[in-house]
Amino acid sequence: MRVDIGIDDLNVYGSTLTISASDIADARGTPRKRLAQWRLDGRSLVPPYEDPVTLAVNAARPLVDDHGAAGFGLLLVASESGLDYSKPLSSYVHEFLGLPGRCVHTEIKHACFGGAAALLLAADWVHANPGGKALVVATDLSRRLFGHAAEAAEGMGATALVVSAEPRILALDAAKGYASQEVYDVARPTHTHTIVDAELSLSAYLDLAESAWSDYRRQDGAAAYDDLDHLACHTPLAPLVQQAHQLFAEESAADLPSAEQFERKVAPSLRYCQKIGNTFSGCLFVALAGLIDGVPDAGAGRRIGLYSYGSGSSAAFFSGVLRAGAGARLARHGISSALAARRAVDVGTYERLVHDIEQSLTAEDYEPDTGAVGNHFEESYAGRDSLILAGVKGYYRTYQWS
């Protein structure tokens, strides 16, 4: 008997603050036409009392509340924003979500590929344990890139997925294509610094897109480009996704030119990416959520192609079929309204908050300032039972419910 395995539930948490991409562009002297080319509206930002742990828990808690903590046997937390060289983020997430003691958990790191890797590993675990459920969480904070060309496109946030047999959002196809090669395109050598070789990273993204797509097409049961109703990709920049799409579309027999195919098949997946920015390990799932929420006919039987790339580097191209009611199931979490409710800040506040984030990640002792953004804590956290960072003492981090 065939058992479908895939995504049973999905949530995106973009925290509670945002800054306009145009405000950053004006402050740095970046032409606004570049933002139009990037299809970028803004990026998420966190207050001083949020970090990768709180983002992960606040993204996953609605799913755990709905499904029941007792049913989860595996927790995988993907992140390139780890807090410790030894202690995994997953230990905090496991604790504050109230997952059972026999639930295996660990942290996965592979730049922006980590979330997809966690999903595919979780799917294999469910295949071996069809009665169990796995929870995959991807959580990341961008680092300070003041004045860098990619500054306005960097984001902060988390995504959470429930992986199970008989999924109600997306059933994964068996065919999967992979590609890996050692590339030093992006790295985080310290808690606060990012090295970016933009030209090399863009090239590697496209090289591995071509290789992973070719490997996928060689697998039994792989879908041809024309059989994919939509695509969702890791989205650091929209023009890069457009170039990857051109590679995928080369075999198309359709009369539509590639640009029109992109608008129909891929552009809907930019819906949330252009509001949050690049959330690294979870960016692919932000694109998937935007696609499902943004396409009126994204219903049963529509096949979605998914491309994930992570610097360093590894990539995967895989696909899945949307289930009946996928849109309604995702809509329960109110992702669009939550993103619209974020409080906008100016450039000066944004820069100060980025410095606060650095302190929260590196200081031996740190006390978050709940008054850092006016009355934002009272309006968006107090009494809402969100997880917040209470403080750091001797590097020991403590958390509490708001």
Mean of all residue pLDDT scores within the chain:
95
Q: Are residues 32 and 132 in the same domain?
A: yes
What single-letter DSSP state applies at residue 192? S
pLDDT for residue 2: 61
Q: Are residues 14 and 134 in the same domain?
A: yes
Residue 188 has pLDDT above 70, yes or no: yes
pLDDT for residue 190: 84
| C-alpha span between 247 and 380 (Å, rounded) | 43
How many other CB atoms are found less than 10 A from the CB of residue 376?
A: 17
Tell me the average pLDDT across 65-83: 97
Ramachandran assignment for 383, one of left (phi > 0), alpha (psi -120 to 50 degrees), beta (any other): left
Question: Percent of the chain scored above 90 by pLDDT?
Answer: 88
Domain-embedded: residue 329: no
Q: Are residues 34 and 48 in the same domain?
A: yes
Domain-embedded: residue 328: no
Q: Are residues 62 and 208 in the same domain?
A: no
Q: Are residues 205 and 284 in the same domain?
A: yes
H-helix or E-strand spanning residue 159: strand 156-165
b or e along 306-319 (b: 16 or more beta carbons within 10 Å of the residue's beta carbon)? bbbbbbbbbbbbbb
Residue 126 has pLDDT above 70, yes or no: yes
Last residue of a domain, one of 288, 323, 358: 323
Assign residue 232 the CATH number of its domain. 3.40.47.10
Tell me the average pLDDT across 190-204: 87
Q: Are residues 59 and 153 in the same domain?
A: yes
Nearest to 311, CA basis, from 205, 155, 154: 205
Tell me the average pLDDT across 165-191: 94
| C-alpha span between 267 and 263 (Å, rounded) | 5
Q: Are residues 267 and 370 in the same domain?
A: no
Nearest to 209, CA basis, from 173, 177, 251: 177
Tell me the average pLDDT across 171-200: 91
Residue 181 has pLDDT above 90, yes or no: yes
pLDDT for residue 299: 67
Domain count, the chain: 2
Tell me the average pLDDT across 81-93: 96
| C-alpha span between 177 and 210 (Å, rounded) | 10
Q: Are residues 222 and 124 in the same domain?
A: no
The answer to whether the pTM exceeds 0.85 is: yes
Q: Are 196 and 148 in contact (CB under 8 A)?
A: yes
Tell me the average pLDDT across 271-294: 97
Q: Are residues 298 and 251 in the same domain?
A: yes
Range of the domain at 310: 174-323
| C-alpha span between 64 and 66 (Å, rounded) | 5
Residue 1 has pLDDT above 60, yes or no: no
Q: Are residues 128 and 146 in the same domain?
A: yes
Residue 269 has pLDDT above 70, yes or no: yes
Q: Are residues 362 and 282 in the same domain?
A: no
- If pLDDT is split at 50, 70 and 90, which confidence band does 93 have? very high
Q: Are residues 164 and 178 in the same domain?
A: no
Domain-embedded: residue 286: yes
**What is the Cβ-side half-sphere exposure of residue 221, based on CA atoms within 13 angstroms?**
10
Domain-embedded: residue 101: yes
Domain-embedded: residue 139: yes
Nearest to 369, CA basis, from 357, 380, 351, 361: 357
